Structure 1
Amino acid sequence: MSDFSQRFLFEDTDVRGELVELDQSYAEVLAKHAYPEPVAQLLGEMLAAVTLLSDILKYDGLLVLQARSSGPVPLLMVECSSEREIRGIARYDAEALGSASTLRELMPEGVLAMTVDPKVGQRYQGIVSLDSETLSACLSDYFALSQQLPSRFWLNADGRRARGLLLQQLPADRLTDAEERAASWEHLVTLADTLTAEELLGLDNETLLYRLYHQEVVRVFDAEPLRFGCSCSRERSANALVSLGEVEALQLVEEQGGAVHIDCQFCNQRYPFDAADIAQLFAGGGSDAPSPTKH
């Protein structure tokens, strides 16, 4: 597998970890748009982050990370479904990019919304301030200040591969003494902090874990596959037109020369609808197939 996440557990302490590697899915996201290098790297880190978060948050639906700023990159948005399909998109101002490369330079005054959108039940949203030098630090700070379990993130991407490492402290079980728990957590985090970007991007999981934790007892679980996937569909596009109302939808068709095209920003798929399609929609005929009219 070139795209997967893999869980591991420290047997003698209450800490778990997760590693994620994205190659093909990351390449498919980048293939949809020609992103400059710093934007592609940041988008890769976001994809790794949403995957790690999807493995620690229990949900049946969609996890969305959406970052907005006043800078050269006004929007980053990535999603991971409970079916382990990921997608992502970035918006950027090429003229304003200049030599910007860090998170603060690319997304000044940035805010990240982390939304769990379940198939059943209420949505949950957390807000993360993007006021640190890296996305890893921003997410780590958020979990340190929230009521969540203490968690630390390490994220890197280079335009070809995106990788991430997560450590999370679990409720007291093996270690019940507060000082021992704190010392164990600090020890494992300190070792992970020695990891370089080259090591995270270049080493396989077994080698990486041995290099960091060869003196610890680590149990590694089976890898879980990930893939690129887009949730757009002709039906969803049709629903957007239905929400406009029949008169407005037909007017839009006329204004656009006989057919309105709804484009998916994530995968570039185009869904055309002409007047016959609109009539079929509002007559209750559904949107399964376009009309015979040439688009």
Structure 2
Amino acid sequence: MSSDQQIDLIHRFLFDDSDLRGELVTLEQSFQQAASPQNLPKVFLPLYGEFMAAAALVADMLKFEGTITLQARSNGPLPLIMAEANSKGHVRGFAQVDEQQSLVQSDSNELLPLAALLGGGVLSITIDPDKGKRYQGIVPLDGADLAECLQHYFSQSEQLPTYFKLFANENKAGGIFLQCLPAQLVKDEEQREENWQTARHLASTTKAEEALDLDHPTLLYRLYHELQCRVFPPKQLSFRCHCSKERSANAIKTLGEVELQALIDEQGKVDMSCQFCGSNYHFDKTQLEGFKKELGKRH
């Protein structure tokens, strides 16, 4: 994509003559802004980018108002990695590095096998709607890559054939998603399967440089110009953190009067840093005593 084009975009598309839909996402500025506060070694940036792209795809594919969180915990060099995306197009992420593991010192920016980065891990997918009940599903990270783990999860949970392919380097991230929908346009099962396998095979031929550097309409035309692919207007994506001093203050108040008083006696202040954006919020003794007085009035 040329420098004057918006690259932080997600496009929905569908095929007019078959029951298939898809999404295509690319992140550059938002990925870099989300990665910068994490100070990750280069070796972890591609996987971090894949998580960011995957969260954006999942948030858009589910078509709901709320937030999606992808989070992996493991005993590998990345004990924790997560990415969030919401229906407004805001994305952010966080990663925790085990400094004791030798891989942390690697200068490589190539995507390593999932098992090397998240060995023995599990992936949780949390759906948190603005209205309604929060839902979380968990799947083992036993696929060859994150895309394969997501495919397995959504094929099982939605009972619909689903395909993901993710791309990332230290500067950009992207991905493609396909799903076979319930029969409406095509009733014949053999024809449905042929349509699905054709679309999936063509998506699998996408190279990283195409996914990360071509504009979406061009890439989709290259892949699907013979399949009546209809591309919808894009949604702009951006890095946005939702932390604030007010939210940090509310977190301190949840400690209760006794623990808050102990904090005042021992430290006389609190500094809270946001793990997503690195913002620091300082609360002095006077502010902490004000919180304690406020809690006392509630009882």
What's the TM-score, normalizing by structure 2?
0.90
Measured after TM superposition, the shift of residue 216 of structure 1 is 1.4
The one-letter code sitting in structure 2 at the alignment partner of 1:88 is G
The one-letter code sitting in structure 1 at the alignment partner of 2:286 is A
Does the alignment pair 1:166 with 2:177?
yes
Q: Name whichever of 242-251 and 267-276 sits farther off.
A: 242-251
Does the alignment pair 1:76 with 2:86?
no
Does the alignment pair 1:145 with 2:156?
yes
Q: State the secondary structure of the residue aligned to 1:244.
A: coil
What whole-Å deviation, never above 9, does each CA across 1:212-231 have from its counterpart, x for those lacking one? Answer: 11211111110101111111
Tell me if structure 1 keeps the 8 A contact 2:124–2:138.
Answer: yes
Tell me if structure 1 keeps the 8 A contact 2:26–2:211.
Answer: no
The one-letter code sitting in structure 1 at the alignment partner of 2:78 is V
Q: Name whichever of 7-16 and 126-135 sits farther off.
A: 126-135
Q: What residue in structure 2 maps to residue 271 of structure 1?
A: 281
The one-letter code sitting in structure 1 at the alignment partner of 2:226 is Q
Measured after TM superposition, the shift of residue 134 of structure 1 is 1.0
Q: Name whichever of 173-182 and 191-200 sits farther off.
A: 191-200
Measured after TM superposition, the shift of residue 9 of structure 1 is 1.0
CA RMSD of aligned residues (A): 1.7
Q: What residue in structure 1 maps to residue 66 of structure 2?
A: 61
The one-letter code sitting in structure 1 at the alignment partner of 2:43 is P
Query: Structure 1 residues 46, 97: closer, same or farther in 2, change over 3 A?
Result: farther
Q: For 2:255 and 2:269, locate their aligned partners in 1 and report how far apart those are by CA, in whole Å.
A: 15
Measured after TM superposition, the shift of residue 177 of structure 1 is 1.1
Does the alignment pair 1:197 with 2:202?
no
Runs of 5+ in structure 2 lacking a partner?
A: 1-5
Q: For 1:82 and 1:145, locate their aligned partners in 2 and report how far apart those are by CA, in whole Å.
A: 23
Query: Aligned match of 1:228 in 232, 239, 245?
Result: 239
What's the TM-score, normalizing by structure 1?
0.91
What whole-Å deviation, never above 9, does each CA across 1:208-253 have from its counterpart, x for those lacking one? Answer: 1122112111111101011111111112111111111123123223
Q: State the secondary structure of the residue aligned to 1:32.
A: helix
Query: Aligned match of 1:29 in 24, 31, 34?
Result: 34
Q: What residue in structure 1 maps to residue 198 of structure 2?
A: 187
Percentage of matched positions with identical amino acids: 46
Q: For 1:27 and 1:180, locate their aligned partners in 2 and report how far apart those are by CA, in whole Å.
A: 43
Q: For 1:26 and 1:153, locate their aligned partners in 2 and report how far apart those are by CA, in whole Å.
A: 19
Q: For 2:35 and 2:229, locate their aligned partners in 1 and report how far apart those are by CA, in whole Å.
A: 34
Q: What residue in structure 1 maps to residue 3 of structure 2?
A: none
Tell me if structure 2 keeps the 8 A contact 1:59–1:116.
Answer: no
Q: What residue in structure 1 maps to residue 90 of structure 2?
A: 85
Q: For 1:212 and 1:192, locate their aligned partners in 2 and report how far apart those are by CA, in whole Å.
A: 7
Does the alignment pair 1:176 with 2:187?
yes
Tell me if structure 2 keeps the 8 A contact 1:64–1:80.
Answer: yes
